[in-house]
Amino acid sequence: MQNIPVPTPGCWNINDIYSPDGRVVNGKVIRNAEGVYEPPKHSASHKS
pLDDT per position in the chain (48 positions), as tens?
566 666 666 666 666 666 556 777 776 778 888 988 877 666 555 555
Position 47 in a domain: no
Give the total number of structural domains in the chain: 1
Residue-number span of the structural domain to which 28 is assigned: 14-40
Position 2 in a domain: no
Q: Give yes or no for a contact between 37 and 16, defined as CB atoms under 8 angstroms apart.
A: no
Q: Helix, strand, or coil here: 43?
A: helix
pTM of the predicted structure, to 2 decimals: 0.37
Q: Count of CB atoms within 10 A of residue 1's CB?
A: 5
Position 22 in a domain: yes
Amino acid 26: pLDDT:
72
